[in-house]
Amino acid sequence: MKVERKYNTLNLILRACRQYIKISKKWGVLEQGSSIFHALSLAAILFSTQLLFDAITLASEGGLDFWQVVTPLGVLATATVLQQFFSGARSFIFDELSYANTGHYIEDFQLKLSRLPAKNFENTKFLDNVNRTRDFVESEELGHFTNVIFTIFTHYLVYFASVGLWLFWLSPALSLVIVTAFIPAILGQFAQVKIFSELEEKNAPLRRQNDYYKKTIIDREFFKETRLLGGFKFFHRLFVDTLKLVTQKTWKAQRNAAILRILLNFASFIGLGLSIFMLFNAVMVGNISIGAFAAIFAALSQIFALMDDIVNRHLSGGSERLGQLKNYYRLLDMNEVTGQTGIVPDFTKGIVAKYVSFTYPERDMAAVKNANLSIKSGETMAIVGENGAGKSTLVRLLIGLYSPDFGTVEIGGLDSKISHPDAIFESTSGVFQRYQRYKMTLAENVILSDTTNPIRMEAIHSSLNEAEFNEDTVNLDTMLSPEFDGIDLSGGQWQRLAIARGLYRINKFIVLDEPTAAIDPIEEARIYNQFKHLSKNKCAIVVTHRLGSTKLADRIVVMNNGEIADIGTHDELLSRKGKYYDMWKAQASWYEITT
């Protein structure tokens, strides 16, 4: 209950307004000032309209001359000019702020994601919320919603207060009827928050699936396989099916909201009819002048048009946005990575894991269970096991990317639970199975592993050379993307480039997490032999489910069902004839070896 109170409607609105003021600064003040004066100029037009019509009536009866009528006409003209000026100024500033503020919101959103624990990105509910929040922010809905809230207070409320006082002075009963007519409609809009909040919860995973199916159809990454193997129709059907589900759920929610709006609008229609009747009766019995009648009649049309705009456009759309706003602030309030900074790991102390266990979000079974392991300074350790054995999860714990649920991991003497990851990562590098093919130049693809320090041209060349990447055919300024008028590399070249990227980063601890899973055993052996040379005098981890190169490691950790089944050298593990022996025998034919 405490969390829900924190995200009630009033709290969300106030928080959004504070954030808007903070990023808008003086431009926000100018916008809201223009909005206030725009509202006052609209009210001044009504007042001056009454004065003009009363003056014309008196002039027709001989009570005023021509020049006495010109004065209220001039007042009306001046009010109209000011109204146009402030309306234009308000629109101009809003357009400028809308684009600029969206950039601020996106920046805050991205920075927040960078400060969250990596474990969250294994949580599907979290990913759904990220996708919803990203769409909300990037579509400018957040800034627009907040601007609408300010507009209600600085424009509509100022206008209604000014006109309301004038109407109350002319006819208290009439002003009361107008206010009462819209109370049900305004309160009813808040009932729609629940409708659209539930819609967001149901549609988020479907939209994520739909986006993925769309990617399998049109992305270059999938194009060849889906066409060659005939997968296009399969993915197209899945895309259409999920799109239909999203549309159906959205239509149902919109239908329920529309029925509610129709009922509420009917109450407003009755109020409008009663107001017109009262106005007609007042002028017929002589309680108000013809000028007042004309001005109030124009005001009624304007008031009901503005109220309809507020209720059916701003509040209706706003109720839909409140659910998204709640998701946005829930994400911003998530606990960030914490820990000591300004400390440097001492890898002469190696890496020590004691009774470590870790479970991924929304899963019951632990991915790593009660693991005990130590890696000495200068030692290369291989971690092997079948798919799903927990190899990659153990590595993420050993490098400090994940914090263990139970137990401790000390990396260069730093406890990963109380040390900030940035401090731990300072001297760590790695090449992973799913390395990225950045659509940038060759040089940029290398230096991405160390962008905080000045570019080291000599290190770029030496890293590429050590990774055996051939620079004779590709220079450092070559764009590695056909989409940007560049070239593409072969799979082997991308593989070597990923290794060069890992080598460019100054490190004392390096990890190879199955980066050779997609290449042949001979090429794999070459890379691991090279890695053995490059990791000399460093703490190093090699992760693989193929055993052709494990003999290069000083020791081998065998993972099975999340547990460390055995630790030892290649010969020791073979002599025990356990899990490692079984895997080795099964893979021996790949490498033409005998045991």
User: Is residue 518 scored above 70 in pLDDT?
Assistant: no
On the question of pLDDT at 174 being above 60, the answer is yes
Element (H, E) at 407: strand 406-411
The verdict on 500 and 520 lying in the same domain is no
Residue 203 clears pLDDT 60, i.e. is over it: yes
Whether residue 5 has pLDDT greater than 50: no
pLDDT above 60 for 237: yes
In contact, 392 and 543? CB cutoff 8 Å: yes
What is the Cα gyration radius of the chain? Answer: 35
Mean pLDDT of 32-37: 88
- Average pLDDT of 292-299? 76
Reported confidence tier of residue 182, pLDDT bands at 50, 70, 90: low
**Greatest mean pLDDT range, 86-95, 320-329, 409-418, 462-471:** 409-418
Same domain for 178 and 282: yes
Q: Are residues 524 and 385 in the same domain?
A: yes
Q: How far apart are CA 565 and CA 576, in angstroms?
A: 12
pTM, 2 dp: 0.69
Residue 338 lies in a domain: no
pLDDT score of 4: 45
What CATH number did the domain enclosing 17 receive?
Answer: 1.20.1560.10
Based on the domain organization, do 128 and 275 belong to the same domain? yes
Q: Which residue has the higher pLDDT, 266 or 481?
A: 481
Letter for the amino acid at 253?
Answer: A
Are the CB atoms for 265 and 183 separated by under 8 Å? no
Give the mean pLDDT of 239-245. 89
CA separation for the pair 255, 199 (Å, rounded): 12
- In whole angstroms, give the CA distance from residue 95 to residue 88: 11
Q: Which of 80-89, 191-200, 463-472, 533-542 has the largest mean confidence?
A: 80-89
Residue 308 pLDDT exceeds 80: no
Q: Tell me: do 416 and 464 sit in the same domain.
A: no
For the chain, give the mean pLDDT: 81
Kindly tell me if the per-residue pLDDT of 256 is higher than 50.
yes
Counted domains in the chain: 3
Q: Which of 302, 332, 362 is the last residue of a domain?
A: 332
| 312 C-beta neighbours (distance < 10 Å), count | 16
pLDDT for 72 beyond 80 = yes
Strand-strand pairing, 563-568 and 555-560: antiparallel
Tell me: do 382 and 493 sit in the same domain.
no
Question: Is residue 221 scored above 80 in pLDDT?
Answer: no
- Least confident segment among 11-15, 98-102, 482-486, 577-581: 98-102
Examine the pLDDT at 284 and tell me if it is beyond 60: yes
Question: Is 340 among the domain residues?
Answer: no
Say yes or no: 455 and 572 in one domain. Answer: no
Using pLDDT thresholds of 50, 70 and 90, give the confidence band for residue 313.
low
Q: Which residues contact 496 (CB under 8 A, 6 or more apart)?
A: 464, 467, 468, 469
Does 141 reside within a domain?
yes
Classify residue 346: in a domain, yes or no. no
- Does residue 135 sit in the same domain as residue 232? yes
Residue 353's closest CA among 386, 387, 385, 381?
381
Cα 199 to Cα 133, 164, 214, 241, 251: the distances in Å are 14, 38, 22, 18, 10
Q: Does one domain contain both 97 and 198?
A: yes
Q: How many CB atoms lie within 10 A of CB 484?
A: 10
Provide the Cα torsion 34, 36, 38, 43; round to 10°: -170
pLDDT at 192 over 70: no
Q: Is residue 170 part of a domain?
A: yes
Question: Is residue 354 within 8 Å of residue 407, measured between CB atoms?
Answer: yes
CATH number at residue 577: 3.40.50.300
Give the model's confidence band at 2: pLDDT under 50 very low, under 70 low, under 90 confident, else very high. Answer: very low
If asked whether residues 441 and 583 sit together in one domain, one would say no
Structure confidence at residue 52 as a pLDDT band (50, 70, 90):
confident
pLDDT(487) > 80 = yes
Percent of residues, the chain, with pLDDT higher than 70: 86
Lowest mean pLDDT among 128-142, 209-223, 397-411, 505-519: 505-519
pLDDT of residue 591: 55
* Beta-bridge mates of residue 555: 381
Selection from 315, 300, 305 nearest residue 260 by Cα:
315
Instruction: Please write the tens of the pLDDT for every residue from 363-372.
Output: 889 999 999 9
Both 471 and 410 in one domain: the answer is no
Instruction: Look up the domain containing 308 and give its range.
Output: 2-332
Q: Residue 454 corresponds to which amino acid?
A: P
Query: Phi/psi at 336 (nearest 5 deg)?
Result: -95, 165
* b/e burial code for range 503-520 (CB count within 10 A of at least 16 → b): bbbebbbbbbbbbbeeee
Give the number of residues written for the chain: 595
**Tell me: the pLDDT tens digits for 60-69?**
777 767 777 7
- Tell me if 342 is assigned to some domain: no
**350 phi-psi bin (left φ>0, alpha ψ -120 to 50, beta other):** left
**Structure tokens, 403:** 């914090």
Q: Taking 50 as the threshold, does the pLDDT of residue 380 lie above it?
A: yes
For residues 3 and 17, give the distance between their C-alpha atoms in angstroms, rounded to a whole number. 20
Q: Is residue 343 part of a domain?
A: no
pLDDT in the model for residue 557: 94
The residues, ordered by sequence, that sit 6+ positions from 441 with a Cβ below 8 Å of its Cβ are 476, 477, 478, 479, 480, 486
Both 186 and 229 in one domain: the answer is: yes
Q: What does the pLDDT average to over 266-271? A: 72
Q: Mind listing the pLDDT tens digit for each residue in 522-562?
A: 666 667 777 777 777 889 898 887 777 787 788 999 999 99
- Whether residue 44 is contained in a domain is answered as yes
Q: Per-residue pLDDT tens for 383-396?
A: 998 888 898 899 99
Residue that finishes a domain, picked among 332, 361, 389? 332
Decide which of 492, 507, 522 is a domain's last residue.
507
- What pLDDT does 183 receive? 66
